[in-house]
Amino acid sequence: MNPQEYARMHALETDYWWFVGRRAIIGALLDQVVNGGAAALLDLGCGTGANLPFFCEHIGTSGHVTALDYSPLALDFAKEKTRDLPVSLLRCDALRLPFPDTSFDIVSMLDVLEHLRDDDVAMQEVHRVLRPGGHFVWSVPAYKKLWSKHDEALQHFRRYEKLELQQLLKRHGFQIRKLSFAMSPMPVVAWAYRRFVLPFKKEVQTVENGEGAILPATPTLANQALVKYLQWESRRIIRRPLPWGTSLVGIARREK
């Protein structure tokens, strides 16, 4: 990812509705697989580390989080957020994980799989380091037709269709326990913003550095409302999958 995007993420991840809402959704999924016990969790592509204190809260007081990223800059930010927490930070390639087989109870990849050139190799590695019965928890961007400069700025290789993601997981020995769209208000908003606003608002492109990811400034009340909505969405996803959204999220289990 572009270095300037890490700085933007570091500044926004604590309070911006998209990041806060995603944590609520992923937290609801984690609660389905941790069951109150200690867990060894591997976070692949931890970025600037805003999710790491949150992971520590979910895996039990005797659990441990191992977090990796390929960017030294991202890991520097992550160090600031994980002092005095049971977190190990490593710089390595997600396609060549430096861990023995069956090392972890849970592997998470939050908007990371789309950054990897070969997602088949990535899923082989996730399967390898998970213990039998362990769980993979993920989020990825949805709908190829929403591809835009936003994806290019974040150096994505792809967006995912639901069937494509199902096939990828099954191909590598995973049983899907939950699979849902998320961020359900966003497909129409994202399409309209990219189609009708960005082409005609040069000042927006300047504010977003032209090549930057599209994270429009959100007034405080609107930000709070969107967080509340996504917290509701997190509870809904556990009961019943959502039929649309700009993300796909879920849980898959390694069978053997």
pLDDT value at 211 more than 90: no
The overall average pLDDT reported for the chain is 88
What confidence tier does 204 reach under pLDDT thresholds 50, 70, 90? Answer: very low
| Cα-based distances in Å from 210 to 69, 141, 152, 186, 241 | 26, 21, 11, 21, 35
- Which of 26-40, 61-75, 166-180 has the largest mean confidence? 166-180
- Name the residue with higher pLDDT: 192 or 185: 185
Domain range enclosing 226: 3-254
Which residue type sits at 136? F
Q: What is the pLDDT of residue 37?
A: 66
CA pair distance 253, 131, nearest whole angstrom: 10
Q: What is the pLDDT of residue 149?
A: 81
| Residues 18 and 8: beta-carbon distance below 8 Å | no
| Residues 10 and 215: beta-carbon distance below 8 Å | no
Q: What is the pLDDT of residues 93-134, one digit of tens each?
A: 999 999 999 999 999 999 999 999 999 999 999 999 999 999
Complete DSSP assignment for 163-188: HHHHHHHHHTTEEEEEEEEE-TTHHH
What confidence tier does 212 reach under pLDDT thresholds 50, 70, 90? Answer: low
Query: What mean pLDDT do residues 12-27 have?
Result: 92
pTM greater than 0.85: yes
| Cα-based distances in Å from 149 to 45, 83, 211 | 21, 35, 7
Task: Scan for tokens 């396609």, then name that residue.
Answer: 95
- Which of 11-20, 81-90, 116-125, 192-201 has the largest mean confidence? 116-125
Query: What mean pLDDT do residues 153-172 have?
Result: 95
pLDDT value at 34 more than 80: yes
Q: What is the CA radius of gyration of the chain?
A: 18
Cα dihedral sign for 130, 177, 172, 166?
Answer: negative
Q: How many CB atoms lie within 10 A of CB 240?
A: 8
Per the structure, the count of domains in the chain is 1
CATH code (residue 164): 3.40.50.150
Q: What is the pLDDT of residue 3?
A: 63
pLDDT value at 151 more than 60: yes
Scanning the chain, the segments in alpha helix (DSSP H) are: 3-12, 17-34, 52-58, 72-81, 119-129, 149-153, 162-171, 186-192, 202-207, 220-239
Residue 178: phi and psi, rounded to 5, are -140, 135
Q: What is the pLDDT of residue 153?
A: 80
Q: For the chain, what percent of residues have pLDDT higher than 70? A: 84
CA pair distance 48, 69, nearest whole angstrom: 9
Q: Give the CA diameter of the chain.
A: 53
Q: What is the pLDDT of residues 54-102, one digit of tens each?
A: 999 888 777 899 999 999 999 999 999 898 899 999 999 999 999 999 9
Residue 115: phi and psi, rounded to 5, are -85, -10
Q: Residue 35: helix, strand or coil by DSSP?
A: coil
Query: What mean pLDDT do residues 162-184 have?
Result: 97
CA pair distance 139, 182, nearest whole angstrom: 9
